Structure formats: C-alpha cells, structure tokens
Chains A and B, each alone.
Chain A
Amino acid sequence: FLYNNRYSGDQVFRITPSEDDQVQELKRILGHYEVDLWQPNSAALICPNITVDVHVRRNDTRALHTHLKQERIDYRVFISNLQKQIEKQTGQRSSRKRR
C-alpha cells in the first residue's frame, strides 16, 4: 500500500454550515480534532453556506459524525476511505504501481 496504508479509514467530509451559530460551532468542533482542511485553507475563512472539505483521521470520524448530527449541521462524506481513493488515483501504468 502507498504511504504505508496510513490513510486507511480516514474520511473526507463535506460540511455546509448554514448560519452564523453553526459556523461558530463548526469551528469549535474542528478545533477538537486534528483535521486537514482541503477547502477553505483556514478555519478562519469558514462562513455561512460555504463548502468546507475536511480530511478526518480514522479514529475521529465517528465522533465527528455524532457531533455534526447533534448540531444539525448539514454534511456528507465525499471520500469514505481515503487510502482506497489514493490507490485509485494512480493507475496501472504509473511507475508507482510498477514498483
């Protein structure tokens, strides 16, 4: 596996907070976890109705699901297993696969 399989089980969430209080809550929630923001680049840029794509570690995915559901913040998982998606990005012709 590429990258020693470190991304196995990690997920990418797409979150859309609709109001100011959801934005504040989302910033607070994301502060609890070690996440990697794909977009926007910084939590400071999160505002109502903006699309927030965030890479979440495997161990935190369940808790984040719970948190977002509790706060009724709209979201979906757009990559359910990041390792699998990384492997799929590279086709058979690539030197990475040949190695």
Chain B
Amino acid sequence: SESQYDYEVYHSLEEIQSWMFEMNRTHSDLVNMFSVGKSYEGRALYVLQIGKRSRHQKKAVWIDCGVHAREWIGPAFCQWFVKEAINSYQYDSVTRRLLNQLNFYIMPVFNVDGYQFSWTTDRFWRKTRSKNHKFHCRGVDANRNWKVKWCEEGASSHPCDDTYCGPFPESEPEVKAVAKFLRKHKKRVKAYISIHAYAQMLLYPYSYKYASIPNFSCVESAAQSAVTALYSAYGVRYRYGPASTTLYVSSGSSIDWAYRNGIPYAFAFELRDTGYFGFLLPESLISPTCTETMRAVKAIASGLLKKC
C-alpha cells in the first residue's frame, strides 16, 4: 500500500508502476496518471501529473527520470519527489504554492525497457532495447535521439556504441512519445528537467555547441539558486553550467531539444556521486541525495513564478 511503500530502496519496474497506480487512486485531488505511449517492447509509458486541479491553464514543469537505464537513483528521485510533494502539500507553504500554481509532469521511468533489462539481466545497460536489423547490437542512447543537431559531435552512428544516436531522430518510441507530448503542451511547459547520474552537476543548454543561450542570465541565476538550495541540505557541492563545457559536447540531447522547442528553462541533473560508488549508489544514500535534489528542483520551480 501507499503508506508502506519504501522510498529508500530501489524498486523494480513492476513495483514502480503499481505504486503509480496506487498514488493515482489515493490522491485523486493532486494526482492524475496517464500514458504518453508505448515503449519498443510494448510497455506503457506512464506519467503522473501532480498539482491542484484548476479551471485555469497552469504553467507546467516536466521531470523525467531513468533516460539511461543503469542510473537507478533517477527513478528513485522521481518517486521521492511525488511522495514529498503530496505529503507536504498541507503543511509546507512553498509546496502548496507550487502545486496550486503549477502542474508537475513526472515520468519516473522514461526508458522502461532498459530499466527492466538493467534490473534483471545487465546491471550496466544504458540504452533502450530496440533491435537493429543490420547488427546484432540492440538499443539507442535515448539522450542522443532527439531532433536537434542529431548525430553530430558527441554521438555515435554505430549501433553497438553506448552513445548510438539511432537510425533517425525520434526513432525510439519513448523519445517520440515524450517529444509529442511536450510539443503539444509547449505553451504551458516552462521547465524541462531530466535526471541522470553520476557527476554531481546541474547542466543547461547547449550540449551540442560552445555558445551561450539567449536567456543565459535567467537560466544561470536559476541554476545558481538550485545548487545553493541543494548545498543547504548536506553541504554537497554540485558544479553547474552549460553541458558542453561543464561535462562534454553531445548532440541530440533532450535538454537541447526542449530548449529549441521553446521551453525556456531546460536542465539535466547529474546526481550523486562523483566516483566512489558511481552507478551503485547505496540505498542508504537515497534519502540525502533525494532530499537535496528536491530543494534544487523546488528552487527552479519557484523561479518560474517570478519574472526574469
């Protein structure tokens, strides 16, 4: 049941989806579950809309987790976010204001096929699970498959590589489904956040080139507020900046696409750690990692309610 669900352990895809159904059932005033499409292997791509129902069109924030299958702390954070948002709505004025004035679209597991494969077979699988007719290798890097400078620098055209861009942009049904949803709602979605691991960074566009975005000062200010809020929890430092210079150049990324699609604030979080556990962040660190990241995400969302 919802009250017994343990947010400090990693869950299977089945458990996560059951939990989503349960949240939808028990918190219908704040939660609405829907599907944006199906994965390559036919699994539903579920999203939770979190927010107080309103007659007015509300601005929205999109958060996806688990684009890369092996980054398990991502889905753990998405679940944590939902739990915290709902549980603190009554007593926390900031949360209440955010959920009253914004809608949050939370996709706990973007790459459902990959996550299932990572859970059961290959712990370090990264890509989707789509088949390639010419090669024996499977999968596409879902963060190289978006239609923005697709398959240029920082992506690979070889199907066996972990950064394979795919046969064409949005070839992956997961990417296509989310892109379709965001295009449909582009007027309302004001922030796009994608959760990854590991590097302890907060990244914004561009990934594909060394250049500043037009609204650099607003985005940079939001990023600074976010990492400051994050640091206030446990003193953990996150670097922040354009993805191309802070991490490395990559083309076809979701944050570049979201930004090009008109979403003014597009971020990628790279959560803990920096290389003691890597992808194997212990369950004992889920709580502090998610707590600090929650503060950062709330800071970004709060910024949307102010003019910049």
Contact = CB atoms under 8 A, between A and B. Distances in A.
Interface of A: 2-3, 7, 12, 14, 36-42, 45, 51, 53, 55, 78-79, 85-86, 88-91, 93-96
Interface of B: 6, 8-12, 15, 121-124, 126, 141, 154, 156, 161-163, 198-199, 248, 250, 275-284
B279 A90 contact: no
Given A37-B162, A42-B161, A95 B12 contact: yes
Contacts of A12: 278
Given A41-B163, A42-B163, A91 B284 contact: yes
29 contacts: A2-B123, A3-B122, A14-B275, A38-B124, A38-B279, A39-B199, A39-B275, A40-B248, A41-B141, A41-B162, A41-B163, A41-B250, A53-B278, A55-B124, A79-B278, A79-B280, A86-B123, A88-B280, A89-B10, A89-B281, A90-B9, A90-B10, A90-B283, A91-B9, A91-B283, A95-B9, A95-B11, A95-B15, A96-B12
A86 B275 contact: no
Contact of A53 (B10, B248, B275, B284): B275
A55 B162 CA distance: 14
A7 B6 CA distance: 27
A38 B280 CA distance: 11
Given A14-B275, A41-B250, 10 more contacts: A3-B122, A38-B278, A45-B154, A78-B275, A78-B278, A88-B280, A89-B10, A93-B8, A94-B9, A95-B12
